[in-house]
Structure 1
Amino acid sequence: MDFGLSQDQQILRDAVARCLADTSPLEHVRECAGRDNPLSDTIFGALHDLAVPAMLVPEEHGGLGMTLLDAAVVAEQLAYAVTPAPFLASVVLAPIALSEAGTNKQKCQWLPKIARGEARIGVAISATVQARDGAGVQFAEGKLSGTALFCLDFEGADAYLVADAGGRLHLVPALASGLKATRLTTIDRTRSVGELSFAAVETDPLADDGGTASARLRDAGRVILAADSLGAGQAMIEKAVDYAGQREQFGRPIGSFQAVKHMCAEMAARHEPCRALVWYAAHVFDALPEDASLAACHAKSLTGDVHRFVARTATEVHGGMGFTDLLGLHYWFKRIGFDRQVLGGPEAVRAEAAALQGWTRAA
């Protein structure tokens, strides 16, 4: 059986790549990364022209009704161009949550606006993976209290989708009384991340499903982060190979030296098998939901380790230049580091995969 991208997905990939080549040059990325709010309205506007915000919104609410594999294709290109634009939370996770677990009122209120690019929703579900001391959100008497860390697509959000300690999801307007939103600085300056503090904040819960919706979001988030790592790794490999062909030592390109050849070849050999795994994980999210959690764990854990190796090795091929801002290689390096840890590092995700298969007890 052949497994790969359809013709439509290849067209989508190429269209997004051309768009980002024009709108997300490294100079613009560097400018955005130096601001408090790194998200680029210019890039998001260009993506809106390609109907990217409408991808996962159902057709009955004005969207395109596409699949997570389509979103993974876009995520790979966004990372390849190290794009500072909202995507993971507002374009992927929020539409999935509202479509699968939202009330009719929530769907009608938010999904058409998301599809038109008129609304952004930040998502804070990291506590469903690993709890931190002093963090966590409790829901009682219709109100939220506590702290939610690592809210994704934080800047410019009109509302936040938050998971409480039981895994239930809640919609909270950005201007809700009792909500304090604080910008967080992370290793990846191409993304916007924040902390949400709740002091008896009234909330609009999604349907109570016993945590199924938050688990689905966790799976989708891991797949998209894996696809993002795939795109960033591809960019770093290509930059290392190009540099090795141009940089000369002892009167010859460094790429002609056996040691450098081996470094480039090993990066490619480890990177390429990740592509099929990520595509498969994205495919089963919609086609075989009973296998989605395990496939997402495999994709997230493997890409996390492989692309940490790629990031380190690509930087080594560049020598001292790899650490400078002149080449900007660090933007991809840090993006891979962010992808590796958010929603569970490789060790935690592999432990979860083992529990899913009955090899160990769930934590």
Structure 2
Amino acid sequence: MEFGLSEDQIMLQETVRRFVAEEVPLDLIRKVADGDEAATVKLETDLGVLGLDGLLVTEADGGSGLGVLDAILVQECFGYGIVPARFLSNSVAAYALRDTGSALVNGIATGETRFGIALNDFTSRRDGSGLLIHDDTVAGSTLMAMDVRGATHMLCLANDAIHTGESGAAEPVKTIDRTRAFSKLGLASIDKGIQVRDVDRVFAVACVLMAADTLGAAQCMLDKAVAYAAERQQFGRVIGSFQAVKHLCAEMAAKLEPARALLWHAAHAIDVEDEEALAMAFLAKAHISEVGTFIARTSTEVHGGMGFTDLVGLHYWYKRIGVNRQVMGSPMALRELAARQQGLVA
């Protein structure tokens, strides 16, 4: 049996890929990374026109009613162009709230509701960090919250359940990735009556979306390395003709393609509620994080000294992959989660 994408899925990905190529050039990313508010607002407005945030919202709630596999295809395109989109946060929130009957789900589809997420505490937290809910009050703070700026609601982990609420005091958390903003966040209030118990499955969706972002960024770094090797000349011939450079590019491709298949399988398993879905999601994120790190390093090596210059801009993809490796769990932490899901450890 051939496991591949449908014509609709291929068309969806091609549409988003074309938008990213035409509307989100590296110069725009540079402006966003430098804190240009006008560039950030323009990008958010252009992304809103695509109407992608309602991808995982059911048709009954005004969305597209598509699956997690469709969502990772979109996120891969955003990773390819290192686009600082809220799509990941809104998609995780839409999946988490799909059976709650909350009006927030329709708001995601219409663009009226904009979510940020803070789920990193699921795998690890520093001493003293984490959100605690007692009666109607929320204490504590969570690290590495995403998309806090401009969010109308936050999706957070507290008291071993997922809650929605209004963001409180937020402090910027500096990372090497300047294409996205992370925050140390407290909640000002929580939405009563909205509580998601299936934390594992929601976190799994966040993992595969983050893995898709890394996959896209890694694919772009591979493509850039191949293109550079085909035009850069040394000793009177293009460096791509040298066997050592060929081997580097071939090894990157050989590691990336199986990773894509693993990610597709994990997303499909979530959609069909396969019993191995959670383990596959955690393993996909762990494996792709390591593959992405290898490709980031190797692509930079193919570029030689130019790979370290801001002119080429390769460092934006390199740093995005590096941060993705740790957000939503390191490879070691996620492999432990997968082992627990499979009953291999107590």
Secondary structure, counterpart of 1:127 in structure 2: helix
Secondary structure, counterpart of 1:99 in structure 2: coil
Match in the other structure for 1:282: 267
| Cα deviation digits, residues 303-325 of structure 1 (max 9, x gap) | 01111000000000001110111
Match in the other structure for 1:168: 161
Gaps of 5+ in 1: none
Match in the other structure for 1:82: 82
Identity, % of aligned positions: 44
TM-score by length of 1: 0.91
- Report the CA distance shift for 1:36/1:151 in structure 2 as closer, same or farther (over 3 A): farther
Secondary structure, counterpart of 1:240 in structure 2: helix
Report if aligned partners of 2:230, 2:238 keep a CA contact under 8 Å in 1. Answer: yes
> What are the residue-to-residue correspondences of 1:160-239 with 2, within 5 Å?
160-164=154-158, 166-174=159-167, 179-198=168-187, 201-205=188-192, 207-208=194-195, 211-212=197-198, 214-239=199-224
Structure 1 residue 271 and structure 2 residue 256: aligned? yes
Q: Distance in 1 between matches of 2:164 and 2:66?
A: 23
Cα deviation for residue 16 of structure 1 reads 0.5
Structure 1 residue 352 and structure 2 residue 345: aligned? no
Q: Distance in 2 between matches of 1:4 and 1:224?
A: 18
Cα deviation for residue 46 of structure 1 reads 2.9
Report if aligned partners of 1:40, 1:85 keep a CA contact under 8 Å in 2. Answer: no
Report if aligned partners of 2:31, 2:39 keep a CA contact under 8 Å in 1. Answer: no
Report if aligned partners of 1:20, 1:43 keep a CA contact under 8 Å in 2. Answer: no
Secondary structure, counterpart of 1:203 in structure 2: strand
Q: Distance in 2 between matches of 1:273 and 1:78?
A: 20
Match in the other structure for 1:48: 48
Q: Distance in 2 between matches of 1:38 and 1:295?
A: 40
Q: Distance in 2 between matches of 1:161 and 1:218?
A: 11
- Give the alignment's Cα RMSD to 1 decimal: 1.7
| Counterpart AA for 1:33 | A
Q: Distance in 2 between matches of 1:219 and 1:284?
A: 11
| Counterpart AA for 1:170 | H
Secondary structure, counterpart of 2:145 in structure 1: strand
Cα deviation for residue 51 of structure 1 reads 1.9
Cα deviation for residue 161 of structure 1 reads 1.5
- Report the CA distance shift for 1:317/1:206 in structure 2 as closer, same or farther (over 3 A): farther
Match in the other structure for 2:22: 22
Cα deviation for residue 202 of structure 1 reads 3.5
Equivalent residues, number: 346
Cα deviation for residue 40 of structure 1 reads 3.0
TM-score by length of 2: 0.95
| Cα deviation digits, residues 244-275 of structure 1 (max 9, x gap) | 11111111111111111111110111111011
Report if aligned partners of 2:266, 2:277 keep a CA contact under 8 Å in 1. Answer: yes
| Cα deviation digits, residues 315-339 of structure 1 (max 9, x gap) | 0000111011100101111111122
Gaps of 5+ in 2: none
Cα deviation for residue 288 of structure 1 reads 2.2
- Report the CA distance shift for 1:38/1:233 in structure 2 as closer, same or farther (over 3 A): farther
Q: Distance in 1 between matches of 2:5 and 2:39?
A: 29
Report if aligned partners of 1:39, 1:155 keep a CA contact under 8 Å in 2. Answer: no
Cα deviation for residue 38 of structure 1 reads 10
Q: Distance in 2 between matches of 1:55 and 1:314?
A: 33
